[in-house]
Amino acid sequence: MKKYWRIVASLAFFQLMHTASADTLKPLDSDREPDRIEWSQLGAKLGPVPKPKAGTRIGAVAKTMTNEYWRLLGEGYKAGGSKNGVQVDVQAAQSEGDQLGQLAIAENMLTRGYAELLLSPQTDANLRPVLGEAAKTNVPVINVNDAVIPSAEHYIGNVQRDNGVRAARWYIQNRPAGGKVAVIEGMAGVYAAVQRTDGFKSTLSKESTKFTVVASVPGNWDRQTSYDAATNIVQQHPDLVGIYCNNDTMALGVVEAVKAAGKLNQIAVIGTDGTSDAYKSILAGELTGTVDSFPVLTGEVAVETALRVLGGQKVPRVVATPQALVTKANYARYKTGGEDAQRKALIEDSTKQ
């Protein structure tokens, strides 16, 4: 019980006060941070990955394993560890809203002798206390998608705003007559949800005059909550043409609501993350598309980056990982042919941007 209240007090304190590092790092805005490098340029610009010491162990804390995205990220951690000869242990909270549980897991990892920690916080605030404790014992910490710890020295992940931008541009290109659209947001106040939603709305308003966002409500990363929200929105706006969702879990709930209303051919639903269930739905002709951020590859890049930091290399503050809006039309380009083919396609994409 004492442990619980200590965590509560610690979290409350760090939500009110910003913890600055010894170098007084500017609060991180991962989408706009100028000190950045593309994942595909790590080897070319920094050289080979330093060989880790024998017995090196890295601890990773995910949001939850109930969301497949985080399970896939964990698979990427394991694959990256295997490629580089290090052990990566992955733990996660029971649910995507268990902020105190996630904090307790991360604090426990600090006592277990890990050389480095990879943290994917549930909110921008809930794991801040860990950074201060880690600094005291010289344990490097890397923030890996998708909430952003303002005082993080290193961040691995995609440009969150671009998720929404890509979705908006799909509607502009594929629904030329325009119409009413809606947004199902993630957890209120979380960096990724804010950026994805703003990217979607601002792109529609700047690049087209034909769309109206008639609703934008939190789905809290939850399938049932999103199903209920979409049901209400579709009832209120029977002429809706599209719904953009901040993640695939919510998008699949929205698809069920759209199906139940008999409007699957009218309302195009786009999700975010690139989970296997989302792809099953896309191939079945239900979910229109997902902005895939390739979590397995992201996990591998995170481990590589962690070893570069441990090896003393000067790694930019942000390592940007890839993303692509995948529909039934371009599925084969990204999802068939194996890992090498996927990496080649994503590197080709980066040279076109």
- 96 and 209 assigned to the same domain: no
Same domain, 304 and 272: no
Full-model pTM: 0.90
Average pLDDT, integer, range 215-221: 97
Predicted confidence band of residue 349 (pLDDT cuts 50, 70, 90): very high
DSSP labels for 314-330? ---SEEEPP-EEEETTT
**pLDDT (0 to 100) of residue 108:** 97
Q: Which pLDDT value is given to residue 25?
A: 84
283 lies in some domain: yes
Residue 188: domain span:
160-292+347-352
Q: Are residues 74 and 126 in the same domain?
A: yes
What pLDDT, on the 0 to 100 scale, is given for residue 8? 46
pLDDT at position 232, please? 98
Please check whether residues 152 and 301 belong to one and the same domain: yes
Residues 311, 246 within the same domain: no
CATH number, position 86: 3.40.50.2300
Domain assignment present for residue 303? The answer is yes
From the CB of residue 172, how many other CB atoms can be counted at a distance below 10 Å?
16
Q: What is the DSSP letter of 67?
A: S
pLDDT at 24: 67
Q: Are residues 146 and 164 in the same domain?
A: no
At a CB cut-off of 8 Å and minimum separation 6, what does 42 contact? 301, 304, 305, 308, 319
11: region left, alpha or beta (phi > 0 left; psi from -120 to 50 alpha) = alpha
Domain-embedded: residue 213: yes
CA dist 152 and 143 (Å) reads: 6
pLDDT of residue 152: 97
Q: Where are the alpha helices (DSSP H) in 92-142?
A: 99-109, 128-136
Torsion 38-43-47-53 (CA) sign: positive
- Domain identity same for 140 and 167: no
State the chain's mean pLDDT as an integer.
93
* pLDDT value at residue 134: 97
Domain assignment present for residue 15? The answer is no
Q: Which two tokens stand for residue 350?
A: 């980066």
> 32: closest CA among 207, 248, 194?
194
The yes-or-no verdict on residue 177 having pLDDT over 80 is: yes
- Same domain flag for 287 and 308: no
Q: Are residues 301 and 315 in the same domain?
A: yes
Residue 1: inside a domain: no
Q: Residue 353: is its pLDDT beyond 80?
A: no
Count of domains forming the chain: 2
Residues 84 and 152 in one domain: yes
133 and 251 share one domain: no
Summarize pLDDT for 24-71 with one digit per residue, the tens: 689 999 999 999 999 999 999 999 999 999 999 999 999 999 999 999
Q: Judging by beta carbons within 10 Å of its beta carbon (0-12, 13-18, 19+), is residue 4 exposed, middle or buried?
A: exposed
Report pLDDT for 333. 96
Average pLDDT over residues 201-228: 98
Specify whether the CB–CB gap between 180 and 215 falls below 8 A.
no
Same domain, yes or no: 269 and 175: yes
